[in-house]
Amino acid sequence: MKNGYERFIRPLLFSLDAETAHRLTISSLRSASHVDLALRALSVFQPAPKPKTVFGVSFPNPIGLAAGLDKNGVALPAWAAMGFGFIEIGTVTAKAQPGNPKPRIFRFPEQQALINRLGFNNDGADEISSRLRKLRENGRWPANCRVGINIGKSRVTPMAEATDDYLYSFRLLQDFADYVALNVSSPNTPGLRELQEPAALSQLLRAIRDANQSSAKPIVVKIAPDLSSTELEEIIAVCEQSEVAGIIATNTTLDHSSIPPVRDQPGGLSGAPLREKSTALVRSIFAKSKIPVIASGGICDAGSAREKFEAGAQLLQIYTGYIYRGPRLLREIAKAI
């Protein structure tokens, strides 16, 4: 049975192009984040607490908002009011950037999927760190959920300077994060996935570890779903050697076999078609390593959420499922786990 969001709100949003709908939603939640009455109204969606501690961080529940929905961290109080156990903002880059040309988000309702080629459009690390500082100083920082910050490489930065680019963002943002996620797997920034190669990943993690000595924030790595078993084993080995706190499995996929060719678009595919591929990687990481896994990809209902936990995930992140199912998805998942 469809919930109220699916019957009334989603048709209105889906009558707009995908990026306009996204911008309208974020703008509304940003406004709500400054109004106590609005936050109390949003709290009707909150699931019952289900606390869980992972890599030394206590989460009020294990269901998080994946990076990409609130790239600039403008609506943290609203997401917290709706009951997310954690919010991952970003991807943030050292330099502000507009992202790829529009249109760059495409819906596939029959498949419960999205394709995006946004390209890390965000306000940049300086502006976002200033915004987060003001939120904290104004007493509106969400006390009832954790905040992760996802950082990536600026498009204009040469690959040879990628480590310095990540370090710039990390130094500005680490104090606001309960954990920091390194995005080395988006398909929409040219060359970025090269950072998953052992030598490049090891160099990046070594530099971040050195910069992290004072704050000792948990560092997690977000990986692609399109890895071979050998590539995955190499990444796990580097993450273990670098004492990474967690692995996010996974980013969007370049496998578009579920999308009719006449409607296909370049970019990363997310949503229900990613479910099996993501779960397989979660299961494989769990079998090969003790590094905690944050599952992301194809979580659209209670069954897909349970599947991720049964595969070995410690935490979940939702994105496309939330766009299709709305805020009651949190409560549905929480009841099932």
Task: Reply yes or no on whether the pLDDT at 24 is more than 90.
Answer: yes
CA distances from 132 to 34, 77, 125, 127, 129 (A): 14, 11, 10, 9, 5
181 phi, psi to nearest 5 deg: -105, 130
* Mean of pLDDT values over 91-95: 98
Domain architecture of the chain: domains with CATH: 4-99+120-252+273-336 (3.20.20.70)
The mean pLDDT of the chain is: 96
pLDDT tens, residue by residue, 284-299 = 999 999 999 999 999 9
User: Helix (H, G, I), strand (E, B), or coil: what is residue 337?
Assistant: coil
Residue 54: is its pLDDT beyond 90? yes
**Number of residues that make up the chain:** 337
Kindly give, in sequence order, each residue whose CB lies less than 8 Å from that of residue 123, ignoring residues fewer than 6 positions away.
Answer: 72, 96, 131
| pLDDT tier, 4 (very low <50, low <70, confident <90, very high otherwise) | confident
Q: Annotated active-site positions, please?
A: 186
Residues 172-225: tens digit of each pLDDT: 999 999 999 999 999 999 999 999 999 999 999 999 999 999 999 999 999 999
Task: Give the rounded distance of the alpha carbon of 79 from its chain centre.
Answer: 13
pLDDT of residue 13: 97
**Given this model, what pLDDT does residue 154 score?**
97
